[in-house]
Structures are given as structure tokens and as C-alpha cells.
Amino acid sequence: MLNRYFFFLLIFCCADTAKSQSIPWLEFDQRAFDLASRQHKPVLLDLGASWCHWCHVMDDSTYENPAVISYLSQHYICIKANQDKRPDLYAKYKDYGWPATIIFHEDGRELLKQAGYFSPADFLPLLEKTYNGYRYLPPRKKPVINKTVPGKWSAAAAAFVRNNFFEYLDMEDGGYDMQQHFLEYDGIAYALRYSQTDQRLKRWLPLTIHGSYKINDPAWGGVYQYSTDNGWDHPHFEKILSIQARYIKIYAQYFGATNDSSALLYANKIVSYLDTFLYSGEHLYYNSQDADLRAGEHAGGYFSLSAEERYKQGIPRIDSTCYAKENAQLADAFLSMYEATNDNRHLATAGVILQSILKKFKQPDGGYVHDRAFTGSIALADQLYLCQALVHHYQLTRDTASLAAAVHSADYMLLHFTGKNKALFSFSSNNKYLPPDNVLSENIDACRTLLQLSRYGYPAYKTAAENIFSYISSPAVLKTIIAEPGILMAKEMLH
């Protein structure tokens, strides 16, 4: 095992030779694993995001460290990927946060999955320990396939899901009783539905909405990703399009239900931020703005400045990529703004976003890619949230073209993503080293979207939704849930 003395000696010895070296990063594809098999090396995946502060820090410190460069170059096949651009890798490893470090055996077995930043002093021993374990790993056994037992919904199952949700409510600060504080759509939607009859939700809902105002940018508008330290006062400053869409939708629906004008004020500030910083000029919106003004340097002081003072120093980097899923979610949010305000500008904005997605992201087989620059995998989420927005658009406009496009997307989802358990898996894959999983949140949303669509003359979608619900209510899935009231709302729609 590497001790501290050896670590610093290794840095000294490697410094000169590594000055001109860098890690030979590859793409996550078959070729990387073929190379690993030929050289009998494990595969390291560094999965991050362009807007992520700790990804920048790890890039600038750990992956630029001479000893780390030398060790990885000799003992590993190394892959670097941006989770925003790879919906397959995002779906597979999103629970680990960014940066995520995943190490594979050459045959594709996962040897290690770790979340967060590692200093060079901590990373080298981890690499050595994993490599030594890899060398002595016994041959791969034939995988055991565990079949999901379909759920049988009961009053006890409903009570379990409901109690699980209530257990996570932070009744002092709002949000969930977790280290991170943020707004999650299903929790707010459920609270909006039942706050008039449940005293806990009646108290929790405004506490949560008003608490979330603290992670809205007071100078430019827009909302930060989340706050840490079990409260709302320690934001992570990145602004991500999907987060902006979620908060616009939540604030609009909260205003519509309560007439609390403060929520509409913050929704409008987010829209203003998007139009100022993330609008592409071609009816779509860019993906994100960094947490750092300078990559890897904390920017808390910068974000405490006024807009004028910030402009003097520059603005954090903007990822000027437009993705299908995130823009579909934004279109859906603008439709909620239209419902809440009856302002036709929001309806028009949603319409042009949807038309742009339909035109620019569609593939010859009828599916929609996440990123026009990456067509190696088709993700369920891009089809699903486009379908959801199209159904919403049809609800409000009775535009038959939107309904037809929604039906097309629903049919594509069911044809290409339905697994043997009748649930939908997260992406298509021709890479045997990256088998897709069932993502619970996507299956909950798919169940509800298909049920909504079934009401417009397509009863077959209700059968598909019932099959999906059997998965999301199965004992194996319910054992894993953390605050999932969307399951309860899906069941209500099935009646």
C-alpha cells in the first residue's frame, strides 16, 4: 500500500518525466475495453460535468499531478466523459454525483464506484488498491438474473409510500431532511394536491417554497442547483437548464394554486435570466452556466456581488450546447407559466421550442437524440419529456399536430425501451459494457404521461401504464424509494 513517504517520493521522481505527459484519455466505447483486454488493465472512467466546481478542481489538481499521471498511464486505460453529453452514462451513474470515479475490470465488471473529489494523496492509494485487487480477481461467473416480482397494490403499500415521503419532510426549514436542500417536482405537486386536507403539508408547502427563494440568484435571477449543510444558506452556484425549468414549473403551479405572487416573481426572474444568459438565438436554450468564474476557484465572493460588479470581472462560462430533454422540460415549464398567467408569450415560447426539437433532433428511425453531436445512444428521457410536453401542449391548445407527435414518441418509447419486466429501460445500447437500467423517476413519469395520453382516444397506453406501475410498485423497488409520492399520484390516475 502507498504510504505518505512513498507518495511524496513518487511525486518527486515523476515530476520531470510527467511534465510533458498527460493522461491518454479515451471515449467510453468498445475500443477502450478492447484495448484494456489486450493489455490486461482495468478501465477508469472519470465522469463529470462542465459546470461542476469539484470536477474542475480534480482536473486541475489530481489529474495534473505527475504521480497520478504516471500511475494511470502505466496501469489503467482511462476514459473521460461529460455526463451532460452522455445520457447513457448519466442514467447509469447519476446517483454518484460529479465527479464520479468508476473503475471496471477489462471484462466490464464494476470494481469501484466513488462519488466526489479525491486529492492526489488519497487517489493514488485507491488506484493501487483497486489495481492489485483487479489482478487477482477470479474469472467472471455467469450473471444471476433476478426477476422483478410484480407489485400488488394494497392499502399497506400506499401507506408505506406515503409514510416514506412524510419521513423525509423537513418541518423546520422546508425541503427534505437531507444534507442537500432543493425543490423536487413530485413532492410539491403532491403537497399542492393535499395541503388543504393535511396539516403537515399545509405547513410544509409554503415553508419549502419560500425557503427555496434563498437559492435564487438575487442579482441576475435564475436558481442555483441546491444548497448544502441541511439548509438553504449554502448554495452551489451552477445554474443548469433542467433545474431552471423545474423551478419555473413549480413556482407557476404554486402561484396558480395559492395566488402567492412571490412565486410568480421568482419564476419571472428565472425566465429573465434564461433570456439574458442561456438563450441560443435559435429557439432553444443552452445547457448551463458554471459555478466558477475561474475553473476550480470558489466563487462565493463573486456571487455576493451586484450585477454591475460581476460584469466588471466577467461572467462564468456558459455551456452553449442545446439538449433535447432539457429544452423539452423548459417548454413544459413555459406551458405551466401560460396556465398560471394566461400570458400568450409563454405559450408561444413553448411552441417554438417544441417545433425546434421536433425538427432538429429527430433521427431517421423516429427517435430523438439527446445531443446532435452524439448519436451513439438514444435515451428514454429525451423521448419521454418531449412526449410529456407535447401532451401538455395538446391539453392547452388542442393542436392535433402536437397530439400526433406525442403519440409517435409514446409508440417509439414502448417499442424501443420496454424490457422483459414491462418497465422502460433508460437508454439503447450497443455497448455490452454499458447495460441499461430501469430509472425509477423516468418510469413514474412515463406511467403518468401514458395515462394522460390514453384519455385522448388511445386506451392501449393505459395497459402499458399498468404494466409500468406493476414495476414501480414491486416490493424490490419500494424497498429502495426515497420520498416518491409520484407513485401515489400515478396510482390515482390509474383509477
Return the CATH number at 454: 1.50.10.10
Q: Band of the pLDDT at 6, cuts 50, 70, 90?
A: very low
Res 142: pLDDT = 63
* 161 and 229 co-located in one domain: yes
Same domain for 392 and 439, yes or no, is: yes
- The reply to whether 305 and 434 lie within a common domain is yes
For residue 206, the enclosing domain spans 155-494
Q: How many structural domains are present in the chain?
A: 2
Residue 351 inside a domain? The answer is yes
Q: What is the pLDDT of residues 132-182, one digit of tens each?
A: 988 777 767 765 555 667 778 999 999 999 999 999 999 999 999 999 999
How many Cβ atoms sit within 10 Å of the Cβ of residue 480?
Answer: 8
Asked, for residue 68, whether it belongs to a domain, the answer is: yes
Q: Is there a single domain that holds both residue 187 and residue 120? A: no
Q: Tell me, yes or no, whether 127 and 162 share the same domain.
A: no
Same domain, 230 and 195: yes
Q: Flag whether 235 is in a domain.
A: yes
Which ranges in 142-196 belong to alpha helices (H)?
155-167, 185-194
Omega before residue 99 within 30° of 0, cis: yes
* Residue 162, phi then psi, degrees to nearest 5: -65, -45
Quote the Cα angle for 41-45-47, to 5°: 175
Whether the CA torsion 93, 99, 104, 108 is positive or negative: it is positive
CA distance 469 to 490: 8
- Do 31 and 127 fall within a single domain? yes
Does the residue 223 lie in any domain?
A: yes
Per-residue model confidence (pLDDT) at position 13: 46
In a domain, 376, yes or no: yes
CATH code for the domain in which residue 33 is found? 3.40.30.10
Tens of pLDDT, residue by residue over 374-390, are 888 899 999 999 999 99
Nine-digit cell string for 399:
393542436
Contacts of 260 (CB under 8 A, 6+ apart): 206, 209, 254
Residue of 209, 196, 191 whose CA lies nearest to 488: 191
Strands (E), 98-176: 100-104, 110-115
Per residue in 176-217, pLDDT tens?
999 999 999 999 999 999 999 999 999 999 999 999 999 999
Q: Is residue 418 part of a domain?
A: yes
The one-letter code for the residue type at 50 is: S
Cell numbers 521522481: residue = 13
Answer yes or no: do 286 and 386 share one domain. yes
Residues 51 and 181 placed together within one structural domain of the fold: no
Q: Are residues 120 and 192 in the same domain?
A: no
Same structural domain, 318 and 365: yes
Q: With pLDDT > 90 as the criterion, what percentage of the chain qualifies?
A: 88
Name the amino acid, one letter, at 38. Answer: R
* 143 domain-assigned: no
For residues 257 and 294, membership in a common domain is answered with yes
What integer best gives the mean pLDDT of the chain? 93
Q: Provide the whole-model pTM.
A: 0.92
Is 145 domain-assigned? Answer: no
Which three-class secondary structure state does DSSP give residue 172?
coil
